[in-house]
C-alpha cells in the first residue's frame, strides 16, 4: 500500500469520530461499521483523501496518537462512496499495519544496537554498543562479553562512538579503558 498524507482532523467525516466515552476506553467492544472497525487492538477508519476525490483508510493501534498506516481505499459501486470495510479487509489491514510497525522497530533497533566479535590471542570477545538517544544528553554503552556470556567490561561512551572490529580490538588491548 502506498502511504498517503494524513488529512487534517477537520477534513474527517464527523460521523466517523468515536464518542468521548469510546475514545476514553480503547478496550471498548468490537465495532463493525461500514467506515469504522475496531477490534484486536486496532481501529480502521475510512476517511476522505485530501489529495484527490477518492478515499483512504487509516490504521491506528490502540493507545497510539498517530496512524501506523494510511493508504488508498477502494470506491464503492456508485463510484462516489467508499467500499465498506469487511472482515477480510480489516484482517489484511491489521496484518499490513503490524508489519509496518515491526519494520520500524527493527530499523530503530539496528540503528541503536551494534555488535562485533573480536578474536584475540586468548579468547573471542563479543562487543556491543547500545545507543541511548536522550534528547539532552545522548550517550552509548560499550560492553564486552566472553564466549560464555560473562560480562568482561562496560563503559559509557559518546553516542557518536563508531563500533568497528578495529575500535573494539583497540578497547580490548587497552584493558577496557574508556575510549577517548
Residue 21's pLDDT is what?
44
Instruction: Give residues with Cβ within 8 angstroms of 91, minimum separation 6.
Output: none
Residue 51's pLDDT is what?
75
Residue 80's pLDDT is what?
87
Residue 61's pLDDT is what?
96
| pTM for the model | 0.62
Mean pLDDT by 10 residues, the chain (180 residues): 42 41 54 94 92 89 95 90 95 96 92 94 94 93 96 96 95 93
> CA dist 174 to 132, 150, 177, 180, Å?
24, 19, 6, 11
The torsion region of residue 63 among left (phi > 0), alpha (psi -120 to 50) and beta comes to left
Instruction: Give residues with Cβ within 8 angstroms of 179, minimum separation 6.
Output: 142, 155, 157, 161, 167, 170, 171
Residue 28's pLDDT is what?
54
Long-range contacts, 18-22 (Cβ 8 Å, 24+): none
Domain range annotation of the chain: 9-110, 120-173
106: phi then psi, degrees, rounded to nearest 5: -65, -40
H-helix or E-strand containing 47?
Answer: strand 42-48
Residue 53's pLDDT is what?
77
Sign for the CA dihedral angle at 142, 146, 147, 148 comes to negative
Residue 69's pLDDT is what?
95
103: phi then psi, degrees, rounded to nearest 5: -65, -40
Amino acid at each position: 500500500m502506498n502511504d498517503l498524507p494524513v488529512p487534517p482532523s477537520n477534513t474527517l467525516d464527523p460521523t466517523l469520530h468515536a464518542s468521548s466515552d469510546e475514545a476514553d476506553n480503547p478496550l471498548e467492544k468490537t465495532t463493525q461499521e461500514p467506515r469504522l472497525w475496531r477490534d484486536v487492538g486496532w481501529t480502521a477508519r475510512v476517511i476522505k483523501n485530501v489529495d484527490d476525490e477518492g478515499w483512504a483508510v487509516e490504521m491506528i493501534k490502540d493507545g497510539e496518537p498517530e496512524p501506523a498506516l494510511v493508504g488508498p481505499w477502494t470506491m464503492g459501486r456508485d463510484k462516489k462512496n467508499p467500499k465498506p470495510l469487511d472482515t477480510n479487509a480489516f484482517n489484511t489491514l491489521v496484518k499490513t499495519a503490524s508489519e509496518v510497525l515491526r519494520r520500524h522497530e527493527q530499523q530503530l533497533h539496528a540503528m541503536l544496537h551494534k555488535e562485533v566479535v573480536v578474536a584475540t590471542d586468548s579468547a573471542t570477545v563479543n562487543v556491543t554498543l547500545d545507543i541511548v538517544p536522550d534528547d539532552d544528553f545522548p550517550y552509548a554503552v560499550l560492553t564486552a562479553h566472553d564466549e560464555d556470556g560473562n560480562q568482561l567490561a562496560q563503559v559509557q561512551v559518546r553516542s557518536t562512538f563508531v563500533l568497528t572490529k578495529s575500535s573494539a580490538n583497540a578497547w580490548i588491548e587497552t584493558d577496557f579503558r574508556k575510549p577517548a
